[in-house]
Amino acid sequence: MNDADPGFFERVYDVVRQIPRGRVATYGQVAAMLGVPRGARAVGWALRGIGRRAAAVPWHRVVGALGRISLDGRPSGVLQRRRLRSEGVRFVGGRVDMSHYGLHSTPTRGRRSVSLARWRNSREVAS
């Protein structure tokens, strides 16, 4: 892990900051947004090393494949579940209901869908 690219970690934190409240993305989706389609594990490493940035990066909005809380049962997993619930995210069978709260899901109950293309376009406009 000493060879980790600190620039990559910062890019991960920037993408995670863009996930709207009440929505979640998977590690794989974050990696794909960064142009690293097989980089889900590296995204996990970045979030594990978040340290003092934790207050400024909504790390709890990133979940495992199919809405799984990766550290379920551990203190950080319990905290993640609590934070997501406080944002209105619901769980089905112990997993985030990705069909309603996933970043690319269909809008429900007034929630907006955020497509990858629209997300990228908004990033280009902001730059």
pLDDT in tens, 37-67: 899 999 999 999 888 888 899 999 999 999 9
Classify the C-alpha dihedral 89-14-55-42 as positive or negative: positive
Domain ranges, ordered by start, for the chain: 6-126
Closest CA to 98 of 31, 26, 32: 26
What is the pTM assigned to this prediction?
A: 0.77
Q: Which residues of the chain have pLDDT under 50?
A: 1-2, 107-114, 127
Half-sphere exposure of 61 (CA within 13 A, CB side): 26
Position 52 scores a pLDDT of 82
CATH topology of domain 6-126: Arc Repressor Mutant, subunit A (1.10.10)
